[in-house]
Amino acid sequence: MSAPRTRPFADLLRLFVGPTVWFMHLVLLYGVEALICTPPVGSGRAMLWLGVVATVAALGALVFLAVMPAPRAEGRPSVHTGAAYLHNTSRLLAFLSAVGVIWNALPVALVPVCALAAS
């Protein structure tokens, strides 16, 4: 009987790509909004365009992660049960992260930028 095959560490790291994209989107949007809303700058139009570009880029990365095929070993599908679990879990995390990205983008689209800074 042979020893069970171990999964590469990269397969485990793939789980963290979706939440990392969501986190970077969150930091970018709210960090840039905090910088834009300082008194001398104050450009709501720039924040809106940055929000649109960042959201489209983040959603594109998450869609790419979700449709990426499962890793294969030596050109054939893996029979390791953990491989299917990790692949399906990374797809689920990419979907949940996409929901988070959209949720983060809603305030940029619906709430006036720098409303408190202007008053």
pLDDT digits (tens, 9 = 90+) for 94-118: 999 999 999 999 988 888 777 655 5
Using one digit for the tens of pLDDT, what is the confidence trace for 40-91?
666 667 788 888 999 999 999 999 988 887 766 555 555 566 777 888 888 9
- The per-residue pLDDT of the chain, averaged, comes to 81
Give the number of other CB atoms < 10 A from CB of residue 25: 24
- Give the C-alpha separation, 65 to 96, whole Å: 12
